[in-house]
Each structure stands twice: as structure tokens, then as C-alpha cells.
Amino acid sequence: MGKTEISIFILLVSIILLLFISGFIIFIFQYRKRKIIHEKEKQDIEKQHKLDLLHTQLASQQQTMQFIGSEIHDSVTQKLTLASIYSQKMEFENIDPAITGRLGKISAIINDSLAELRDLSRTLTDTRFQDMDLAALVKAECSRVQESGACRMVVQADSHREMSVTVKSFVLRVIQEFIQNSLKHAAASQLSVSLGDTDEGLSVAISDNGKGFSVQESVSTGIGLQNMKRRIQLIGGAYDLQSAPGTGTSLRIFIGNQHLLSE
Ligand SMILES: Nc1ncnc2c1ncn2[C@@H]1O[C@H](COP(=O)(O)OP(=O)(O)OP(=O)(O)O)[C@@H](O)[C@H]1O
Ligand SMILES: [Mg+2]
């Protein structure tokens, strides 16, 4: 073999080797890319599955509440109304003042219970949830707390953004759990809730002036905080809970426009 032929041979071998190595690299690259896409699809399916599950739970919870509400209204309150009528009749007919006084007390207790049950039944069968926007629901929730005298509520809810029932109910449940925690654990005297629109999405800020806690070190058997975070992550939102002993607790949530209508 002459020198030229050897050179051509080496060149050909090098080209083949180069082609082989490039092909191998491309193959590995494509394989990895496909694996990443596959993993991403798997995660998306899992996420959608969890969201569907929560959606079903929410719907069945709503149905159960409606059922209990209707039962209270149609059965228990009817019977208590009868009991109230009987006791009032006896109170009216009885001539012994000592017994009349006690019957009056029984009547008053029955009537109080009736009023409370009617309220409960109305709350449980409430269908306004579907029709009201988040701002109105949050304002109603805060008014209830303020009226109970448990805590002073400062509310600013100007957002009238369109959003899916899932997003609306998840954000409301998170706000409700935060309020419950502030009342149960923080001994807070004031709670601030604000809902606002930005060009990019919906932002929610809620804070209490209570005793605070160490978020990292807190050991609890409760599931409230976990649920709050899970719900917001499931609808693709950002969740930031801040607290430290002596500084109160605050939570910021942000849900981008692209996630607001997701079911
Ligand atoms: N706003 C707050 N102020 C002070 N401590 C808080 C506050 N929120 C939560 N914590 C602390 O974090 C712990 C965990 O709260 P989480 O809501 O998960 O559980 P829980 O309220 O105890 O029970 P659950 O919500 O399941 O009924 C609480 O037990 C409490 O110690
Ligand atoms: Mg809780």
C-alpha cells in the first residue's frame, strides 16, 4: 500500500469512527430526551389524577353536606318544632307557677336549638358557593369571624377574577384553615386578609398578629398546614408560609393566569 492509500484508509477509518461516535452521542441524547419527556408525562398524569381525586372528594363532601343539611331541616327541626308547640301548650294550660316557669325554660332551650339548627342547615345546603365570586366568599367568611367576636378582621378583597370552582374552593379552604389556626393556636387579636389582581394572576396575602411558631421545627399531628400547601401546589400556585415565635404568621399565595381556570 502506498502512502496516499494509507492516508485515505486512515481518513476513511477516522470518518467512520467519527460518524459512529456522533451517532452514539445522538442516540444517548435522544434517549435521555425521551426519558425526560416520559417522566414529565408521568408526573403530569399523576398530578391530574390527584387533582381529579380531590375534585371528587370535594364534590362528595358537598353532596354529604347538602344531605345532612336537608335531613336536619326536614326531619330534626320538624320534630323540635312539634316539641316546642307541645311545651308551649303545656306552659299555657298549666296552673302551677313552679312548673310553668320550668316549662318556659324548656321552651326557650328548644327554640334556641331550633334557631341554631336552622342556621346550620342553611349553611350546609348553601349553594351560593357556585354563584358567588371568591372575594364575596372571603368577605362573608371574615364577617362571620368578626361577628363571633373571636378576632378583629381587616379585609381587602378587590379581585373579581374569573376562576374555576376547584381553584375558588381550594383558595377559600386554605384561607379558612389559616383563620382556624390563628384562632386555635395563635391567640391573635387581628387577622388581615387581602385578595388582589396583578397582570400575571391572583395574589392572596393573609397574616395574624399572634404568637407565631417555628415552621421548620414544628412537630404536629395536625394535617391543616400540609393540606394547605398540597392544595396550592396541585393547582399550580406558589405558596409561602412565614412564621417565627413572637412575630405572628403570614401566608402568601400566587396563582398565575394560566392556572386560574384549571379544573
Ligand atoms: N397561625 C398560627 N400561629 C401559631 N401556631 C400555628 C399557626 N398555624 C399553625 N400553627 C402551629 O402549627 C401546628 C400545625 O398546624 P396544623 O394546621 O397542621 O395542625 P392543627 O391545627 O394542630 O390540626 P388540624 O389542622 O389537623 O385540625 C399547630 O399545631 C400549631 O402549633
Ligand atoms: Mg389546623
Q: What is the mean pLDDT of residues 235-254?
A: 95
Which pLDDT value is given to residue 131? 77
pTM of the model: 0.66
pLDDT 10s digits, 7-44 = 899 999 999 999 999 999 999 999 999 999 999 999 98
Q: Check pLDDT > 80 for residue 66.
A: no
Q: How far apart are the first and last CA of the chain?
A: 74
Q: Tell me if 208 CB under 6 Å of ligand 1.
A: yes
Ligand nearest to the CA of 217: 1
pLDDT 10s digits, 147-206 = 888 889 999 998 788 898 888 888 988 998 899 899 989 999 999 999 998 889 999 999
Which residue minimizes the CA distance to atom 27 of ligand 1?
222
| Residue position matching grid coordinates 387533582 | 51
Confidence at 1, pLDDT banded by 50, 70, 90 = low
CA–centroid distance, 119 to ligand 2, in Å, is 24
Higher-confidence residue: 80 or 247? 247
Higher-confidence residue: 34 or 72? 34
Give the span between the Cα atoms of 37 and 220, in whole angstroms.
Answer: 38
CA–centroid distance, 177 to ligand 1, in Å, is 9
**Residue 242: which H helix or E strand, with range?**
strand 238-243
CA–centroid distance, 39 to ligand 2, in Å, is 34
Give the span between the Cα atoms of 207 and 182, in whole angstroms.
Answer: 9
Q: Tell me if 223 CB under 6 Å of ligand 1.
A: yes
Q: Tell me if 213 CB under 6 Å of ligand 1.
A: yes
Q: Tell me if 249 CB under 6 Å of ligand 1.
A: yes
Q: Tell me if 170 CB under 6 Å of ligand 1.
A: no
CA–centroid distance, 109 to ligand 2, in Å, is 32
